[in-house]
Chain A
């Protein structure tokens, strides 16, 4: 049993990769359409990025440079685990720098740095169906997509406004792709939605447990659903990042003490570190530096 654990390059066998690449090609040809694929059991649990891992495993080659982020950060435990997986089974170069990566696998964020042509952003998707929480049945939702019957989604957003005075969806905010399919952008904050629009990079979405792949090809129109009198808005933050002073970026709230102390820092760790290296600093970094001196 000692020769048990011999695995192919990037874990999956070549037949499986071909099958997944066919699904990806179909997804690219029909932007926003969820292509069923024969998702494999991966050596990490369902719900932990098996869809994204399968997509990455199918497109990665020895020359690729991989970046993996979770919540925008390279050093969160699951990102570390997935990066280590590809280092182990594919021996590819890895990086934390957005600009250097040819493939970026992500969970819940799109990097702050604008992606460019040739890069691929692979999203891990838990529930690919944007209509799922309005209609639990797959047989029904597929029909609704086929008939372009998206009234229910608009009713949901309208009910939000009626109840809360605003659209109460803050992440996984539904988008319409290329004027046809309503798509779930994965649970990224709606802050990131505008980055998907006309992106130079190829965006691939993998949902392992739900066995779906979908895609947004480069330079594709991605519009967040809204109403004329309630236009789509992204989150804004009152203060810049406490470490690098960046504005117009997505911030994480860090609880500092039990007396209500809070600080807000970049969720994109690479962006934050790069800015700090360039000499930018925010309020907290300045105080901590002074304290150290």
Chain B
């Protein structure tokens, strides 16, 4: 009569076998290759790299393939690999001013040194489904300008020249950047750690929070000072050599948000900054991040924390989608021991309630 829930091991193995089958899908179709994912689903690859905090296009593509296109699952796979990698040092701060710019737009100046460069963007496309993509039709070669390789000055530097914007945060010379993946988090958090957490935070969550600040929940009056996307060089200081070596280039998206001023009796009014930097091409994420970064600086500017986006513990504790998905989905694990305890309590309380009601009725009847 009673069949214990046995055979968990076989069930798991069979479930995984079925999963592998579903992942592969129709065997008469060719299997998608890692190169195809890298080349044709590049923005998915970028998001996986960004939120997994590991810049490796091949591994991110592999994770996407293994995860059947599920972003958070792919991010999780890549993070679980990243965590096992040894650390042999910290790169020098990336100089985004020296970026080989592929896209650069400013919403605060019509024209500016270095110009506006649209680059590969969905902006201004009409969102009409393109039937030509049903077939493998040939695509025109792009028009490319000669790479001048010149330094494209930052918009924030233009404002800074006049003292109109707060200085870029200074760190002490001996400051070693923290690492949220190697040290336990503590609140309140310095801004470098907070930015790290936001950089790997869930794009959707940060987007919603950034959006909420625009709708009045912690308004920051933002302007896009500048968004730039392109290749930056990663340099590594080798103590044995006494000079730094280049490890190669990575693509990043940077957003500098210019926000309404602060000032005091001592300091004249100045614009304030919100900053976003993300692996790969992801403007939505970089912009959301810079909105949330500025919102989280509320206390620094002596403003009141009144909205969720300004609440550091709330934002940082909940922006990690791998943590969030794990904990939400753990609810499907068996909880029958605890549920039994609750069942027992509810039954006892109901019995007591029923007894009390019965007693009342008896008294009433006796009185009648």
Contact = CB atoms under 8 A, between A and B. Distances in A.
A211 B184 contact: yes
B84 interface: yes
Contacts, number: 157
B337 A168 contact: no
Secondary structure call for the A interface: loop
Contacts of B329: 45, 47
Contacts of A138: 187, 313, 317
Contacts of A164: 349
B56 to A, nearest CB: 10
Interface in A35-89: 36-43, 45-48, 50, 70-73, 75-81, 84
A260 to B, nearest CB: 13
A155 interface: no
B58 A1 contact: yes
A271 interface: no
Given A47-B329, A209-B327, A40 B83 contact: yes
A267 B4 CA distance: 11
A247 interface: no
A256 B341 contact: no
A84 B9 contact: yes
A198 interface: no
A45 B76 contact: yes
Contacts of A38: 181-184
A250 B337 contact: yes
B135 to A, nearest CB: 32
B345 A189 contact: no
A166 B351 CA distance: 14
A77 B327 contact: no
Contacts of A126: 327, 330
Contact of A170 (B81, B84, B334, B344): B344
Nearest to B9: A80
Given A11-B84, A165-B352, A45 B325 contact: yes
B356 to A, nearest CB: 10
Nearest to B86: A13
B2 A139 contact: no
Contacts of A137: 313
A139 B316 CA distance: 13
A182 interface: no
Contact of A47 (B184, B313, B327): B327
Interface stretch (A24-32, A97-105, A284-292): A284-292
11 contacts: A7-B84, A13-B84, A37-B184, A46-B326, A71-B337, A84-B12, A109-B337, A170-B338, A189-B337, A252-B337, A284-B2
Interface of B: 1-2, 4-9, 11-12, 58-59, 62, 76, 79-84, 86, 181-188, 313, 317, 322-323, 325-330, 333-338, 340-345, 348-349, 352
Interface of A: 1, 4, 7-8, 11-13, 36-43, 45-48, 50, 70-73, 75-81, 84, 107-109, 126, 136-139, 164-166, 168, 170-172, 187-191, 209, 211, 235, 242-243, 250-254, 256, 263, 265, 267, 269, 284, 287-288, 291
Given A42-B83, A45-B330, 11 more contacts: A4-B81, A37-B184, A38-B182, A42-B80, A45-B322, A46-B327, A138-B187, A188-B337, A191-B341, A250-B340, A267-B340
